[in-house]
Amino acid sequence: MVQTLDEDQRIIEFDVRTDEMLVNMGPQHPSTHGVLRLVLRTDGEIVSELEPHIGYLHRCAEKIGENLTARQWIPYTDRMDYLAAMNMNLGWSLAVEKLLRYQVSEKARHLRVLIVELNRIASHLVGMGAYGLDLGTFSPFLYAFREREKILDLYEEVCGARLTYSYITVGGMTADLPPGWLQRCEAFLDQFEPIIQEYHTLLTTNAIFVKRTATIGVLSPEMAIDYGCTGPVLRGSGVDIDLRRDGESIYTAMYDGYAFEVAVMKNGHYPRDHKYPAVPKDAVLGDCWHRFFVRMLEVVQSMDLVRQSIDRYSQCKGALGEPLKLAEKLPAGDTYLETECPKGQMGFYLVTDGTPIPWRVRARSSSFSNLAVSPELCRGCLIADVPAVVGSLDVVMGEIDR
């Protein structure tokens, strides 16, 4: 896997030295995905040091959670990872349900899988499109958003909102699916499936794209684990962890009976359940290209899961079940649960004292840990690589600052 000296892009040239410059990238910068501020210490085009500064989007969501009942806090989870709000809803709901030892109906379980996996597709589409934007190509971004819009249309039918859904809630869902929705969802999947090939042509296998991402920002499995990286960032380094398979039982029970292969490179190859483009020979496991590719695979994986859940959901006979009361009393105790969100493992922690309002609420953000590794990845890279690396981590500031 080690590149030869000539090929290595991260060799620093030391004899032609210019003065170091301190550059602020953000918080108002096109490629910092919101209000991230990166302070770069540059030597010409070479970045010798990068320091992320966060806190520009802090809204005290956790503190607010200590003043609201568990269900009332659901809309605040929407605004954490606003690109995958369904997953956030689910994480919090499951955590509360774990505390309550509550189990949702079979139908609600399948519907939850359907909804969150659809949201995973939407989130990865944004991640993918915005990554193209970071690398200077605009069109894939709009291609991705075009498809995401269709998912948002579906969500709008379900819950009336396009971004902040508050659909999955403690004890179930706010409503059942409208009539005919499943057919429309299937129609979307059918027309979306061939379009993925377009993305592969424009990005994944594009020569310039590979040049820009392969061997850039290589994250070793050890370092990924040390920094607490999760999600596609971790799997892009070849660590075979996916909470949908390896998580706590209350979470994995949701995926009971679903067939899916974790999108990770094992024994030198990725899952072969579909026809994926080959890994370019320049790419090193753990580089930006692999992180991106894992997301692309997860889109297909999520499509499979959505198809399976549509089948199961339509076979379920019983009722969906009502969610819990708005001011359901929570038993005294504490609980922590992590779920596999599109960006990584999102954990919710709550301590309760017997009242409906939790005494303490904390969220463990995956983007926070993923972003923390960026100084390591960007040391010695070029300025142009900074958006490439940070973009490949696919962080969302709402989740980091909460």
Question: Segment near other proteins (CB under 8 A), from 97-105, 141-149, 272-280, 299-307?
Answer: 141-149
Window of 159-167, 179-187, 203-211, 351-359 that interacts with other proteins by CB under 8 A: 203-211
The answer to the question of residue 11 lying near other proteins (CB under 8 A) is: yes
Strand 344-352, strand 360-364: pairing? antiparallel
CB of 276 to other proteins, least distance (A): 20
Residue 229 and residue 316 in contact, taking contact as beta carbons nearer than 8 Å: no
Phi, psi angles (nearest 5°) of residue 76? -75, -30
What are the φ and ψ backbone dihedral angles of 295, each rounded to 5 degrees?
-65, -40
Amino acid occupying residue 345: Q
Q: Does 384 bind other proteins (CB under 8 A)?
A: yes
Give 242's strand partners: none
Nearer to other proteins, 30 or 333 (CB): 30
Interface with other proteins, residue 39, by CB under 8 A: no
Q: Are the beta carbons of 390 and 381 closer than 8 angstroms?
A: no
Per CB under 8 A, the list member of 19, 101, 249, 281 interacting with other proteins is 19
Determine if 197 is a binding residue for other proteins (CB under 8 A). no
Q: Is 135 in the site for other proteins (CB under 8 A)?
A: yes
Residues in CB range of 188: below 8 A, 6 or more apart? 150, 151, 154
Report the residue from 212, 290, 343, 402 that binds other proteins according to the rule CB under 8 A: 212
Return the number of the residue (210 or 350) whose C-beta is nearest other proteins.
210
- Is there binding between residue 194 and other proteins (CB under 8 A)? no
Is 94 or 135 the residue whose CB approaches other proteins more closely? 135
DSSP assignment string, 105-121? -HHHHHHHHHHHHHHHH
Contact status, residue 37 vs residue 24, Cβ threshold 8 Å: yes
For 392, the token pair is: 């490949």
Task: Tell me which DSSP letter residue 277 carries.
Answer: P
For residues 219 and 286, the answer to whether their CB atoms sit within 8 Å is yes
Respond yes or no on whether the N-terminal peptide bond of residue 323 is cis (omega within 30° of 0): no
Q: Which residues contact 197 (CB under 8 A, 6 or more apart)?
A: none
Q: Are 238 and 175 in contact (CB under 8 A)?
A: no
- Find out whether 398 and 57 touch, Cβ atoms under 8 Å: yes
Tell me the number of residues near other proteins by CB under 8 A.
57
- x/- string (CB under 8 A) for other proteins, residues 43-82? -xx-------------------------------------
Q: What is the CA radius of gyration of the chain?
A: 21
- Based on the shown chain and the rule CB under 8 A, indicate whether residue 21 belongs to the binding site for other proteins: yes
259 binds other proteins (CB under 8 A): no
Q: Which of 7, 30, 197, 266 binds other proteins (CB under 8 A)?
A: 30
Nearer to other proteins, 15 or 256 (CB): 15
Q: Which of 397, 371, 379, 368 lies closest to 40 in space, CA to CA?
A: 379
Structure tokens at 100: 């309550």
Residue 173 vs 283, nearer CB to other proteins: 283
Q: Note whether 7 binds other proteins by CB under 8 A.
A: no
Residues 261-290 that bind other proteins (CB under 8 A): 284-286
Shortest distance (Å) from residue 398 CB to other proteins: 21
Which residues are near other proteins by CB under 8 A? Answer: 1-2, 5, 8-19, 21, 23, 29-31, 44-45, 132-139, 142-143, 146, 202-203, 206, 208-209, 211-212, 218-220, 222-223, 284-286, 376, 379-380, 382-387
